[in-house]
A and B are shown apart, each in its own frame.
Chain A
Amino acid sequence: MTEPITVPTPQQIIEPAISGRTETMVLNMGPHHPSTHGVLRLVLELDGEVVVNLAPDVGYLHTGIEKTMESKTYQKAVVLTDRMDYLAPLSNNLCYALAVEKLLEVEIPERAQIARVLLTELQRISSHLVWLGTHALDLAAMSVFLYAFREREQILDIFELVSGARMMTSYFRIGGLAYDLPADFLPTVEQFLAIMPSRIDEYEDLLTANPLWLERTVGVGVIDAQAAIALGLTGANLRATGVAYDVRKAMPYSGYETYSFEIPIGKNGDIYDRYRVRIAEMRQSVKIAQQAAERLRELGPGPVVTPNRKVAPPPKREITESMESLIHHFKLWTEGFKPPRGDAYVSIESPRGILGCYVVSDGSPKPWRVHFRAPSFINLQSLAHMAKGRLVADLVALIASLDPVLGEVDR
């Protein structure tokens, strides 16, 4: 490592400027929307139009989700996870559910596992579509936004079909799914997956060889693999530097080891490579989702929650017939379940990178502590490293290419 990597704070940039010790200018970008990516404030130190240093100031969306979760029972806290990374609520649900399931050691039925994979892959596509639309919008390519949201609406329609909500589905519960998939789920998904590859071609037609796009992205915001790992960069941003690390392959969860897919990687670690990697990831997601849909078809109907009545409530029908079920139902909704003492950490590959969830149980029905390793939050640290010496205009492209979601940054 040549130069030590530093992550400055806003104060460290502002103070020398106020005291007049520097020749450079300090400029405030935000907190009201520096680009289309939410309430982020950037303190820039500029020499003319060149960024000398910068420090992100986050926390404008701090929601206290981790504290609030401590006051809810395990099952009720699922709702809060949706609102963290609001472009990929299902990934958050999955990560939290997996962590609590690890504490409880419950088995998830096959059908629920496959549905989880299928829906999180759809979620990945929809999240990448928002990234693509807003990234292009930031670089003044308006039409891509309209194309991307066209397909996103189709995915949201699928989510609405299964859960009744477009975005905040809270569909993955501890022990399985909230309820069974509807009958017309598979045809709708298959129809969507059939058209999606050609739609991705359309986006690529608009951007991949577009000279304006290339001009703004190739060779901009470069980071090498070593610095990326040191700074904790994950997800497509890390893979664009050539490191093929994907939790779905490295430490598989939910049965990802049984699906065949590739990890797209880049070479140069610039904005263009991140774009290529994410586009390729969408294609891989379609592939995984197709395999999952096939398996669901083969498997046929079956249970979608664990048979362990101490964790998941019995079906409604049973409650009217059996006293024991009634008691279980009552206990679960009034008190909740009590995982054994201990802590568990689980990480998954969310659309933004490695999303981790650390849950500590003290044996009571409420989590003692829940911590989320938020990929956007940690990815944001590398912004200064990448932006140094570039123009302010490149910075907007850079923020978009990191794909931070401020709800997750601040939690």
Chain B
Amino acid sequence: MGIEEKAGNLGIVTTTLETVVNWGRTNAMWPLLFGLACCAIEMMGAQASNYDLSRFGMELNRASPRQADLMIVAGRVSRKMAPVVRRLYDQMPEPKWVIAMGDCAACGGIFNNYAIVQGVDEVVPVDVYVAGCPPRPEALIDGIMMLHQKVMREKISGKKEAPIRLDQPLVQVK
């Protein structure tokens, strides 16, 4: 009973601690239940029957920031909401990651006005940006896979990789 049954005749597996830790982090990443606007509906769509985000160990949305390690900012962030977003981010335990889902979260989208923060990266550091208004569930899943690959490259001792910024040339994630 246990992993040796599943692994069959594998014998001993050697790997680095880093890989094991990162592998663990990617495969049980708990997102914060944090929908702001329209994009949240597509996020729900991604978790529902047709797109089934639980294939990647991500279906378990936590309502409390203390139990979450991924914040998917799904929607537009207003000036009234921005302090709340930052506070939730600060309450999440390390290590934590942020996905900016949708044009509004990435850069303000079509709302270039007094009420909307022009990109959530002014409030919290963003790891992956997902484009679209709203992004299709496939696009969100792609963004999450991209984040997983980024987490796999993380060093156990060192600091986090610098966020992928909009102003940088596109990094091809392998």
Contacts and interface: CB of A to CB of B under 8 A. Distances in A.
Q: Do A and B have CB atoms closer than 8 angstroms in the complex?
A: yes
Nearest to B35: A38
Interface string B7-39: 000000000000000000000000001111110
Nearest to B109: A83
Given A38-B40, A39-B36, A150-B49, A62 B110 contact: no
A146 interface: yes
A407 B38 CA distance: 8
Nearest to B111: A63
A124 B48 CA distance: 19
Nearest to A37: B35
A403 to B, nearest CB: 13
A168 B38 contact: yes
**Chain B contact residues, majority secondary structure:** loop
B115 A153 contact: no
A87 B34 CA distance: 17
A85 B76 CA distance: 14
Nearest to A71: B113
Interface string B42-69: 1011001110000000000001010000
Given A33-B63, A61-B78, A149 B111 contact: no
B115 A38 contact: no
B124 interface: no
Interface residues of A, number: 36
A32 interface: yes
Nearest to B84: A31
B41 A67 contact: no
Interface in B97-131: 110-116
A86 interface: yes
A167 B38 contact: yes
Contacts of B40: 38
Interface in A59-118: 59-65, 67-68, 79-80, 83, 86-87
Contacts of B174: none
Contacts of A368: none
Contacts of A39: 36, 81, 84
Nearest to B64: A32
B37 A64 contact: no
Contacts of B63: 33
Given A60-B84, A167-B41, A80 B33 contact: no
B78 A62 contact: yes
A86 B110 CA distance: 15
A33 B78 CA distance: 15
Given A64-B113, A150-B49, A32 B84 contact: yes
A38 B44 CA distance: 12
Contacts of A378: none
A38 to B, nearest CB: 7
Nearest to B32: A32
Contacts of A150: 48-50
Contact of A63 (B78, B88, B136): B78
Nearest to B82: A60
The 4 residue pairs across chains A and B that have the minimum distance between CB atoms:
A149-B48, A86-B38, A64-B115, A64-B113
Interface of A: 31-33, 38-39, 59-65, 67-68, 79-80, 83, 86-87, 130, 133-134, 145-147, 149-150, 152-153, 156, 166-168, 406-407, 410
15 contacts: A32-B34, A39-B81, A39-B84, A60-B81, A62-B79, A63-B111, A130-B41, A130-B44, A146-B48, A147-B49, A149-B44, A149-B49, A150-B48, A166-B136, A407-B37
